[in-house]
Each structure stands twice: as structure tokens, then as C-alpha cells.
Amino acid sequence: MPDPAPVEAAHVQHVGYVGTLHVFSPSKNEWKIAKPRMNNFFVANNITDANTKRALFLNSLDEEGYRLIANLSVPNEPEAKTFDELIAFFDSHFLPQASIFSARFQFVNAVREPGESLNEWLARLRSLGGPCKFKDLEEELLDRFVLGMSKGPVKDRLFEEDRLTLTMEKAMKIASGKEAATSQYTMSTATS
């Protein structure tokens, strides 16, 4: 029986480490996801030495990723740069500063999609709100959570609340309860 074809490794296994430091491939992975995962790997393994971090980071890059970091490091080799400098190169390359106005435009125009659960809606708002640099993100989230609801009994019920005392936790509880009651009523009238 012939040997199976070699399979590209999906991750880098480090003997003696907790967890896995995954390979980063610029065409296959998102830096905004890979970076915190790498940092969590360092924390979980109590890796604080900058040279060790640099070596592990460079080793976790596939050929495309290493070529990119080498190009960003010119005229030096990546190994001559500090860990923080290498991370700053990737941050600048993969996470360009977006316009705060553009981010806020997307946030204030967000509406809950049909079929989107309340938790998914709130998670999407949190994701959209992060880059907005609001002075009070929780206040903005609550407003958008309520105002971004489609017309109907859930939005109507939330509008009955005093905005000055309404919290996100309370709004979620009210919205969940109203959605459940409306859903049960709709199902019971459909079977009648």
C-alpha cells in the first residue's frame, strides 16, 4: 500500500508547551485573530523573553508570512529586529487605522438582521463599536441595540423603558422575554 500524501501541518507543535502556536499564513489567516492567539500562547506558557517570542513568532510564519516580514524588515533581517518591531510591522500592514467617522457611520447605521439572535446582534454591535473610540461605549451600545431593532413588539416594549435607568442587561432580559412571548403566541395562534 503506498504511503499517504504528505499533509501540510495545520499548526506548530512545541514539545513541553501548553497549547499550540498555530502557523500564520497571510493569505489564509487574519492577523487580528492570529495576534491575540499568539499572545495567549505566550501567556499560557509564561514566555516573557523578547528573543524567545521573536524566534517563536518567526518560526510560526509560513513561507509567505516569512517573506512578508522579511520585506517589511528591509534593510535588516527579521532576526535583527525586536519582537515588538516585528509585531508593529504586521500591525501596520494588516490593521491600517480606519477613519473613526467611517467606523461610527457603520455603527450608527447598523440594524438587526432578520433571523439574527439577540446575542449575535449585541456581539456584532460590540465588534462595530470597538473602533469607534466612543467616550462611553456601553451607552452607545444600548442606544444602538434598541434603535437598531426592527419595528415590532420587542422594540415597542423597549421604548416603554426609561432610558436613564435602562441597562444593557435589563434591555437584553426584556427583549428576550418579549421575543419568547411573541414567538409562543405566534405558534399557538398558528396551530389554532
Give CA–CA dist 93/164, Å, rounded: 42
Q: Give the pLDDT of residue 42.
A: 95
Give CA–CA dist 170/83, Å, rounded: 44
Q: Give the pLDDT of residue 90.
A: 94
Amino acid letter, residue 64: E
- A 10 A CB-CB count for 165 gives 7
- 73 phi-psi bin (left φ>0, alpha ψ -120 to 50, beta other): alpha
Q: What's the CATH number of domain 100-191, 3.30.160, 1.20.950, 3.10.560, 1.10.1200?
A: 1.10.1200
Q: What is the pLDDT along the chain (192 residues), one digit of tens a residue?
A: 444 444 344 454 556 889 889 999 999 999 999 999 999 999 999 999 999 999 999 999 999 999 999 999 999 999 999 999 999 999 999 987 778 999 999 999 999 999 999 999 999 999 999 989 999 999 999 999 999 999 999 999 999 999 999 999 999 999 999 888 876 656 656 665
Q: Are 148 and 125 in contact (CB under 8 A)?
A: yes
Q: Give the pLDDT of residue 47.
A: 95
What is the SS3 assignment for the chain? Answer: CCCCCCCCCCEECCCCCCCCEECECCCCCCHHHHHHHHHHHHHHCCCCCHHHHHHHHHHCECHHHHHHHHHHHCCCCHHHCCHHHHHHHHHHHHCCCCCHHHHHHHHHCCCCCCCCCHHHHHHHHHHHHHHHCCCCHHHHHHHHHHHCCCCCHHHHHHHCCCCCCCCHHHHHHHHHHHHHHHHHHHHHHHHC
Q: Is 0.75 topped by the overall pTM? A: no
Cell of 91: 500591525
Segments of the chain assigned to CATH 1.10.1200: 100-191
Rg of the chain (C-alpha set): 24
Give residue for cell 473613526: 100
Q: Give the pLDDT of residue 3.
A: 47
